[in-house]
Structure 1
Amino acid sequence: MLHVVGVGICRGHITERAKRLIEEAEIVYGSKRALELIGEYVKGESRVLRRFDECIRAEVEREAEKANVVVASTGDPMVAGLGKLFGGEVEPGISSVQVALARLGVDLCEVAVVDAHAKRFDRLDLLNRHLLILADRKFDLSIFGHRRVVVLENLCSEDERMLYGLADEMRLKSDYSIVFVRR
């Protein structure tokens, strides 16, 4: 059996069901960060996913045919996560998108979420709505010109920051950034 389990982005942001699935798993895969968040719940073997490709996906799914396997996904597996990449059952988690919106006091239904993490895009046609962009330090804020933005860096960590300014005057400094662009 394979479960893709959202583990949140900080300690304490994990559901009771997610804890149980992790505790019952014989093998738990995840990034170093994901495994650090759930270390106290892992009773079986933990394996760090240093990269992800089709071969790794196939290996994990083969193991899940014989064993109870969990793939730990930071945040929510269905918000720019691993949920769509595996055939297993998905257990949601609290995503960085949800944490950012809570910090901003903005309803999710009023924004368009765009995943620009390790991706490139030249043009956004969604500028008539709030945008919440998952980004890394390579993301170029200048595409928004002189618009007001809020950059949320390293949510739920000791060096969490919220930076306010104009897009063309700011630069991302963290690979764990969320950019909020007002309508």
Structure 2
Amino acid sequence: MSEGVWKCSGGGRLLNIVGVGICEGQITERASKLISRAEVVFGSRRALMLASKFISGEFVEIKKFEDETYREIEKLAEKRNVVVLSTGDPMVAGLGKRLKGNVEPGISSVQLALARLKEDLCSTVVIDAHARKAEDELELIERRNLLILADRGFDPSLLGKRRAALIEDICGNERISFGRAEELRISSDYSIVFVWK
């Protein structure tokens, strides 16, 4: 298999899942080429906006992120060159594991948050708590830094009195606050909670 090329089963065309970063200007040169060569580009409204200057073919906003939608995209990719855009990095709580195709990485909110806090990913545990409960994972990680991809439904008080930072709407109306985890109040569905060991 050539670099950057994933053939769909049945000898079809191409399917690439491409990370477009979180902020404007974070699309890599390689990702921009994959996007510009695509006959059809799928993505959320935000992902399509971030990649708009590179899209030369058709584009379709994904409104329902579910298995049936993914199957339809894979079927189309048997006949046409298709790119699916994923905000951030497709393999960090993104679309990379949901579709069968080549994954082109992007800059994730995890990377941006760690850069803002000057913390090393290798000493951090990352948990995706978007629209799910994460209590079981939280009990396992008292000796490591912890980064949680969170939404308004996540309750930081589960983390107790540990020193923490809350980053909301990274690259948008970005806000960073510090305090004890139990004191944090999440007001955005695009939030990251970082807890020091």
Shorter-chain-normalised TM-score: which range?
over 0.9
Q: Which residue does the alignment assign to 1:15? A: 28
Give, in whole Å, the separation in 2 of the partners of 1:75 and 1:47: 19
Q: Which residue does the alignment assign to 2:6? A: none
User: Which of 24, 30, 35 in structure 1 is aligned with 2:48?
Assistant: 35
Residues 1:156 and 2:171 aligned together: yes
- CA shift, 1:122, in A, is 2.2
State the 4+ residue runs in structure 1 displaced beyond 2 angstroms.
Answer: none
Q: Which residue does the alignment assign to 1:136? A: 151
Aligned runs of 1:51-70 on 2, under 5 Å?
51-70=64-83
SS class of match (1:18): helix
Post-superposition CA distance 1:63-112 (Å, at most 9, x none): 00000000000000000100011110000000000000111111110100
Identity in percent: 56
Q: Which residue does the alignment assign to 2:59? A: 46
For structure 1, the 5+ residue unaligned runs are none
- CA shift, 1:115, in A, is 0.6
Give, in whole Å, the separation in 2 of the partners of 1:53 and 1:21: 24
Greater shift after overlay, 114-123 or 88-97? 114-123
- Number of aligned residues: 182
For structure 2, the 5+ residue unaligned runs are 1-13
Greater shift after overlay, 59-68 or 162-171? 162-171
- CA shift, 1:121, in A, is 2.3
Q: Which residue does the alignment assign to 2:89? A: 76
- CA shift, 1:38, in A, is 0.6
TM-score w.r.t. structure 2 length? 0.90
TM-score w.r.t. structure 1 length? 0.97
Letter of the aligned partner of 2:101 in structure 1? G
Calculate the aligned-residue CA RMSD, in Å: 0.8
- CA shift, 1:126, in A, is 1.1
Residues 1:4 and 2:17 aligned together: yes
Give, in whole Å, the separation in 2 of the partners of 1:168 and 1:130: 16
Residues 1:147 and 2:155 aligned together: no
Give, in whole Å, the separation in 2 of the partners of 1:8 and 1:84: 17
Q: Which residue does the alignment assign to 1:167? A: 181
SS class of match (2:27): coil
